[in-house]
Amino acid sequence: MDVVLTDLDGVVYRGRNAIPHAVESLTRASLGARVGYITNNASRRPVDVAEHLEAFGLEVAADDVVTSSQAGVRLLSTLVPAGSTVLVTGGLGLTSIVEEAGFTVTNSAEDSPAAVIQGFSPDLGWKELAEASFALADPDVPWVATNMDWSIPVERGIAPGNGTLVSAVHQAVGRMPVVAGKPERPIFDAALARFGGAHPLFIGDRLDTDIKGANDAGIPSVLVLTGIDQAKQVLAADPKSRPTFILGDLRGLSTPYPVTVRREDEDGTRYVTVGDSTVAMRGHVVRVLDDGDDLDRLRAGATIIWESGLAIYGLDVDPKLYGGE
């Protein structure tokens, strides 16, 4: 891989703390590949994200960061002429990017904006959402959302994300925006255009945004189990959300990935072995035969379930595969 693209929250850090092994692993990866950081967070400028990562010990410049604001403005430029007046519903992390792209920023529908672009800001209120709704009453005015994340992790817990604010405008205007952030393609296209490379790899911790988005963009994907999704979600992943690789933490970036061995008995029982872990499946019953390593057991179990073509809710799955009893 010559380009490593990575999500942030759940992969590099969690709250105020770096995730164990993430900083040293990404530093090691940067010796042989370009490392780029991708975030759906539209409230922060790339320079702010870079400074945050540098505080953990990573060497990061603003140009190493692709935000959903940047992807959104790149998308916006395909919808309206250069220099157009654009109503921005968001904070500095979005407004600054729109201005840098040469658009004229307004916060009032009375200025007859050519388009509306919406991103998250904790300071957004009814007045700002109403102005967006007034502008979007004209069906010919394009509407771009930086992302549709329904929730965001904050210091005190989980809070409503940009998707909830976009939904408020949607309820008023009766239509949906085009979306730039994960899992949609524009943010991945923006990253590939920025970093180049012939063999990219994307790392994330969420199947529904990170992995699905990478798969849709044709980029090999890594699910790292340091964030949101864990074994249960992996086993139940739909075909569009299945990662190419599964890692326990980012140390796995620099270690050989284990070979998957498959075989089948005459009675139709299938076996998948990864490392010292073997999982068998006959009919709808999935059982662990050789425990081995927790991670290899999950890899084997996921492979045999995914390749069965059967829905997870119709299977009798050994609880050892997901930490149950």
DSSP letters, 233-289, are HHHT--GGG--SEEESSGGGGGSPPPPEEEEE-TTS-EEEEETTEEEEEETTEEEEE
DSSP 27-71: HHHTTTSEEEEEE---SS-HHHHHHHHHTTT----GGGEEEHHHH
- Inter-axis angle of helices 68-76 and 185-195, nearest 10: 100
Rg, C-alpha atoms of the chain: 22
Distance CA 209, CA 148 (A): 10
The span from the CA of 104 to the CA of 98, in Å, is 8
Cα 24 to the center of its chain, rounded Å = 22
Q: Are 295 and 322 in contact (CB under 8 A)?
A: no
Active site residues: 7, 9
